[in-house]
Amino acid sequence: MELNATSMGKRLAQHPYNRVRLLAAGVEVSGDKHEYLIPFNTLLNISCRRGVVWGELEFLLPEDKVVRLHGTEWQETQRFYHYLLQAWQAWSAEMSAVCVEVLTQLRQRVDDFGAQDRWIMRSELQALCAQIDKRFAALPLPLARLDEFSDCREPYHACLRWLEQGEAALRQRNRDWTARMLTQYHDFFATVETSPLNPSQCEAVVNGEEAVLVLAGAGSGKTSVLVARAGWLLTRRLAAPEQILLLAFGCQAAEEMNERIRARLGVADIQARTFHALALHIIREGSNKQPVVSKLESDAAARQALLIDAWRQQCEEKKAQANGWRQWLRDELQWTLPEGHFWQDECLTKRLAPRLERWLGLMRMHGGSQAAMIADVPDEVRALFSKRVKLMAPLLKAWKQALKEEGALDFAVLIQQAVAILDKGRFISPWKHIMVDEFQDISPQLAALLAALRQQNKHTTLFAVGDDWQAIYRFSGAEMSLTTAFHHHFGAGDRCVLDTTYRFNERIGDIANSFVLQNPHQLKKPLNSLTKGNKKAINLLPQEQLEPLLNKLSGYVKPDERVLLLARYHYLRPDVLDKAKTCWPRLRLDFMTIHASKGQQADIVILLGLQAGKEGFPAPARESVMEQGLLPQLEEFPDAEERRLAYVALTRARQQVWLLYDREQPSLFVDAFRQLGVPLLRKA
């Protein structure tokens, strides 16, 4: 059947289309130069209008596109329209039956998806939405017409909800499921640790995303969450013990975790390891070799002696090398050197040894050739960095020779070899769930090991517990952005926050949190305290008032309460502590560097050394070009890591913090604390 414009209508309308023909399942609109095919499955509506003289047909298509035919005789237009409408509606009714069947099946899939008794991951939502999109695209009716058919309307909108509100709908669904779990497993959460878990801890434990970052502020119970997480996986039969891997940064932390799991869960098959122990296991299993870790890694004195001997030999044998080292130490580090054979000076070697140790460690961690190291550094320091690397080359050679003679590997090579074995597929990871403690301390090399493990087992979840506010180990290669940009590096997932601290009072928390958050690059999170505290919970005091302060504390501090003195450096240990046992025998006093105090707590903390200058706190930047080239890039915010170090010091305290400062050269942190409302006292 066909409808044509009249000769007059064709001439006056001046329209590209003047003829329409009904096909088996569509219409063809054409003119002298144009032809347009409109299948019924793209047709949204047909309308018929009467003009002053002629009729008009209008075909509505997706994206508000309209095709019109003008200049047709009105009665013929009406007749064609009614016949076309009847054919289109009959086709639509037939196709709606097909749509109902498809949509009903899809609706059941969507209902089953939401009704699962488990956490649903974002990646699963993406797969569901892709499936919905695919099935929608295959429907014979345009989506915009499905509301016209009562049998299609409800299942269509049920599926459409997941497409349009997917993220929000999934969040709400997982929140509802989490609430049910916290009720259903109330006894588990109340008894898995010595104290019942709070809601934020419980929510972190049950979160089933593929990559979960748990931001655990100081004293917020991160170890409890790790233990409970392992227990939850076992209780819900989400993993067998041998499919759970816990990773820590030190042997002591790993052993403490093992003891806690054995005590609380009664399970011996879950083993917390250090990253290096994990790498050793992968190498042994994946290469049929039995490598051992060099004794140098556990003997700092032997390490430094080896490097100093190699350095002295280098300076003794080659005048150019000696001159190069003199220039480096004098011009870049601004050290005063003795004349002549400066390399024989014992004071100098004692000062240099830890530097050599650090520089060599960074070079080993990089793992590449000298050329690769040089190529990786910024252009502005490349020439100088190249000179320094060449001066370090004999020390690196001596280190490698010592390892060869011992038949052992160092930590850096352990990680590199483990990653290589994983990349080659010679070790298949058995772990479905990897949990990492103190995640803020992770380096790019250790992150590469995690990535390689997850690449081996695509279904491996990563549960990382850490606190970017306590990231204080950049000097050893830790990169804070691996935490602050966690999902960029480790894939889509979720972030949980442990919002309650069980350690310090609200007054200490307010000052410490406000102080660290003055750096806008730190992740913002709530950290509430259980006790109020008062204005006297944190005070500034001149440093000469230390002894009067200890006298005062000895009058009211209980024998079982701990007083912890903290300083930026070991050598700032105050002499007054030498007479502590006789002057204040009932006062439990300890001294530590702030770095060493990580993980510690005390009733009262005394922070020493808030002074400006070369040996002050915040410590002035003293990086040589080696650190600039091999460490993660420095943050833009001034003294960012030193500020986090101060935060760590403050948050060791349960009850009270005393900040001791130099009145002649006060640290710039003193003014920052005063602006936050910390009282400045004249005497203890």
Shared fold status for 1-165 and 185-293+426-501: no
Fold classification of 185-293+426-501 (topology level)? Rossmann fold (3.40.50)
Q: Are 568 and 593 in contact (CB under 8 A)?
A: yes
Cα angle 77, 80, 84; round to 5 = 135
Domain 1-165 has CATH 1.10.10.60: no
Q: pLDDT tens-digit profile of 503-524?
A: 999 999 999 999 999 999 999 9
Question: What pLDDT is stored for residue 288 in this prediction?
Answer: 84
HSE-CB at 38 with a 13 A cutoff on CA atoms is 23
**% of the chain surpassing 70 pLDDT:** 99
Q: Are 667 and 528 in contact (CB under 8 A)?
A: no
Q: pLDDT tens-digit profile of 163-206?
A: 999 999 999 999 999 999 999 999 999 999 999 999 999 999 99
Encoding tokens for residue 677?
């409302």
- C-alpha distances in Å from residue 564, one per residue of 526, 577, 592, 602, 653: 26, 11, 8, 6, 8
Encoding tokens for residue 460?
């491996």
Residue 12 has pLDDT above 80, yes or no: no
Question: What pLDDT is stored for residue 486 in this prediction?
Answer: 97
Question: What pLDDT is stored for residue 6 in this prediction?
Answer: 86
**% of the chain surpassing 90 pLDDT:** 89
Question: What pLDDT is stored for residue 360 in this prediction?
Answer: 96
Residues 6+ apart with CB under 8 A from 194: 264
Confidence of residue 681 (pLDDT cuts 50, 70, 90): very high
Residues 6+ apart with CB under 8 A from 224: 193, 195, 197, 201
Tokens 């409890």 sit on residue = 224
Q: Are 253 and 440 in contact (CB under 8 A)?
A: no
Q: Strand 538-542 to strand 562-567: parallel, antiparallel, or no bridges (unpaired)?
A: unpaired
Residue 368 has pLDDT above 90, yes or no: no
Q: Are 469 and 186 in contact (CB under 8 A)?
A: no
HSE-CB at 366 with a 13 A cutoff on CA atoms is 23
Cα gap 527→32, rounded to integer Å: 75
Name the class of domain 506-675: alpha beta
Q: How high is the mean pLDDT of the chain?
A: 94
Cα gap 554→653, rounded to integer Å: 17
Cα gap 156→106, rounded to integer Å: 9
| Phi and psi angles of residue 11, each rounded to the nearest 5 degrees, phi first | -75, -40
Q: What's 557-584 look like in SS3?
A: CCCCCEEEEEECCHHHCCHHHHHHHHHC
Q: Strand 2-4 to strand 19-22: parallel, antiparallel, or no bridges (unpaired)?
A: antiparallel
Higher pLDDT, 6 or 404: 404
Confidence of residue 13 (pLDDT cuts 50, 70, 90): low
Q: pLDDT tens-digit profile of 409-460?
A: 999 999 999 999 999 999 999 999 999 999 999 999 999 999 999 998 888 9
Cα gap 631→378, rounded to integer Å: 12
Question: What pLDDT is stored for residue 378 in this prediction?
Answer: 87
Q: Are 433 and 461 in contact (CB under 8 A)?
A: yes
| Phi and psi angles of residue 406, each rounded to the nearest 5 degrees, phi first | -80, -20
| Phi and psi angles of residue 54, each rounded to the nearest 5 degrees, phi first | -110, 175
For residues 646-662, average pLDDT: 97
Output the CA torsion 665→669→670→672 (10° steps).
140
Tokens 């950049």 sit on residue = 474
Cα gap 555→436, rounded to integer Å: 43
Cα gap 611→619, rounded to integer Å: 9
Question: What pLDDT is stored for residue 34 in this prediction?
Answer: 84
For residues 141-158, average pLDDT: 95
Domain ranges across the chain: 1-165, 185-293+426-501, 297-408, 506-675
Q: pLDDT tens-digit profile of 261-312?
A: 999 999 988 989 999 999 999 999 999 889 999 999 999 999 999 999 999 9
Strand order in the sheet with 562-567: 538-542, 653-661, 602-610, 562-567, 588-593
Question: What pLDDT is stored for residue 5 in this prediction?
Answer: 85
Encoding tokens for residue 333?
């580090």
Question: What pLDDT is stored for residue 126 in this prediction?
Answer: 94
- Smallest CA-to-CA distance from 655 within 244, 323, 219, 136 is with 219
Residues 6+ apart with CB under 8 A from 461: 208, 209, 210, 211, 212, 432, 433, 434
